[in-house]
Structure 1
Amino acid sequence: MAAQRQPSELLHPWLEAPPARHEVQCYFPPPTMPSSPLPYALIFDMDGVLIDNTPYQAKAFQLLFRDLGLTTNARQLLKRLNGMPATNILKTVFTGPVPKKQLEEYAAQREFLYRVLYWDKRRQTPGLSVFLRAARAAGFRLGLGTGSAPETIGYIIDHLDLRQYFDVVVGKDDVDKGKPHADTFTAAAHKLGVPPERCVVFEDAVLGEQAAYKARMRCIAVLSSLKARDFQAPLRVIKDFTEITPEQVRELLAQHSPVPKPSKERAKRNYMKL
């Protein structure tokens, strides 16, 4: 007698095995992190901003003029042309053309006189180190943009132990054209990796302010030798760095006020073509 088949053996073959499982793969993109905003940058002039040395600069020019038999008032001259390279300033005091090499020799003499006069007077502007430390802690990038030569820059910032605060240093030898052209501040912003609209320049000179505007940056005026009325349209004017905080600078930049156009009237007043 044939063996009796079990009920399961009588089922249709496709029921004899469990149905195949079909896995469905779902793609979940990784969570996106909110993008960090671009940093702000602060770019500082050196003479008259990091230090209050304008009277000594003027005295050195005056001694040079005396030796050259010139009667030019150095203090009044610097009110108009401060911020320019010394050779360019010297061009304006001679009635005729002077060879470039001769101008460079005069500028070297003036630099020697200035260092002798200022040697034991080197002091940073009140509140500067505190402000720089706070700015770095707040995430600002810091740059120095000056018309001075490397050895003159070192004479100040290394003696005062300020180099540690700056991410970049741009001087006379780093650009083709000094202030009032935009090159100095444009180069500093490029090296800092910050767009111009997120930069603010600290300047004590009218030509430096104009250079900032040509670089499409806003400016805070430091009143070390000029008055507030001498400047065109700074975001704010300060006597020194005890009068401002990095957070206040951030608030000023966050207002997105338009960058003023360089003033041709001020250019004429300072005998320069911007």
Structure 2
Amino acid sequence: MPASPPPYALIFDMDGVLIDNTAYQAKAFQLLFREHGLTTNARQLLKRLNGMPATTVLKTVFRHPVPPKQLEEYAAQREFLYRVLYWDKRRETPGLSGFLAAARAAGFRIALGTGSAPETISYILDHLNLRRFFDVVVGKDDVKNGKPHADTFRVAAHKLGVPPERCVVFEDALLGEQAAYRAGMRVVAVSSGLRPEQFQAPLRVVKDFTEITPAQVRELLAQHPETPKPSKEMAKRHYMKL
């Protein structure tokens, strides 16, 4: 008998996907910028660079070189501000738990692939009791290079034991979408911070998880078997100069 194909896998970004927190992330950055006399618009900055480590985002806004240790301190300040602002606002994206439960019942393997540190992951997953849905959790400490590099999603797929072509990434950020394509995966976009037309080539764009089912994900995979190539133009526009 021929061997059965490996399962499909779903890999989820965290910020802007499991939770709709982009506005609070932006406000935390804006407060930090104000503290240091910077006039950068945090909302506009995150539209381009959301998904990158905070230290990388911060490096782009200073006109002078900042030592890595200082960037880490600034990132820790931003993280503290974000947690204070978001503390009482932590809610899962509508329909998420139901979708994850249905996906597990349908035989999907499930991973989290985020650029966040372990304590930040716990701040969301454990507070919202979401960790139970994930077979694998991959964060900042598990990879050498964060998004837009492919490492986060490749490591998640490897730990799941599922080949990239059978993985679907749920992403809200342009750089996360590019990372998925670099990893040889397809994408369902979550439009928590961007307009649908701003993404490159997702299988589908949803506002939240009430708009899609695991069965529809399977149908989309069958209908679109090819993985898009990362856009060189988008790369140049969003992160080539970093």
TM-score by length of 1: 0.87
The aligned counterpart of 2:19 is 51
**Code of the aligned partner of 1:50:** L
Note the alpha carbon deviations across 1:196-217, whole angstroms, 9 max, x for none: 0000000000000000000000
The aligned counterpart of 2:236 is 268
The aligned counterpart of 1:40 is 8
Q: Distance in 1 between matches of 2:72 and 2:13?
A: 22
User: How do 1:56-71 and structure 2 match up within 5 A?
Assistant: 56-71=24-39
Does the CA-based 8 Å contact 1:264-1:273 persist in structure 2?
no
Q: Distance in 2 between matches of 1:53 and 1:255?
A: 32
Shift of 1:190: 0.2
Shift of 1:68: 0.5
Q: Secondary structure at the match of 2:210?
A: helix
The counterpart of 1:124, out of the listed 92, 104, 111, is: 92
The aligned counterpart of 1:110 is 78
Does the CA-based 8 Å contact 1:238-1:244 persist in structure 2?
yes
The aligned counterpart of 1:84 is 52
Shift of 1:254: 2.0
Q: Distance in 2 between matches of 1:273 and 1:265?
A: 12
Unaligned runs of 5+ in 2: none
Q: Distance in 1 between matches of 2:97 and 2:153?
A: 21
- 4+ runs deviating over 6 angstroms: none
- RCO greater where, 1 or 2, for CA within 8 Å and sep 6 or more? 2
The aligned counterpart of 2:66 is 98
Note the alpha carbon deviations across 1:110-133, whole angstroms, 9 max, x for none: 000000000000000000000000
Q: Distance in 1 between matches of 2:168 and 2:239?
A: 26
Note the alpha carbon deviations across 1:99-155, whole angstroms, 9 max, x for none: 000000000000000000000000000000000000000000000000000000000
**Code of the aligned partner of 2:12:** F
Higher Cα Rg, which structure: 1
Q: Distance in 2 between matches of 1:55 and 1:122?
A: 12
- RMSD of aligned alpha carbons: 1.1
Q: Secondary structure at the match of 1:179?
A: coil
Q: Distance in 2 between matches of 1:243 and 1:104?
A: 38
The aligned counterpart of 1:214 is 182
Number of aligned pairs?
242
Note the alpha carbon deviations across 1:179-235, whole angstroms, 9 max, x for none: 000000000000000000000000000000000000000000000010011100000
The aligned counterpart of 1:246 is 214
TM-score by length of 2: 0.98
Does the CA-based 8 Å contact 2:203-2:224 persist in structure 1?
no
Q: Secondary structure at the match of 2:189?
A: strand
Shift of 1:273: 6.3
The aligned counterpart of 1:223 is 191
Does the CA-based 8 Å contact 1:267-1:273 persist in structure 2?
no
Does the CA-based 8 Å contact 1:142-1:168 persist in structure 2?
yes
**Code of the aligned partner of 2:232:** K
Unaligned runs of 5+ in 1: 1-31
1:141 aligns with 2:98: no
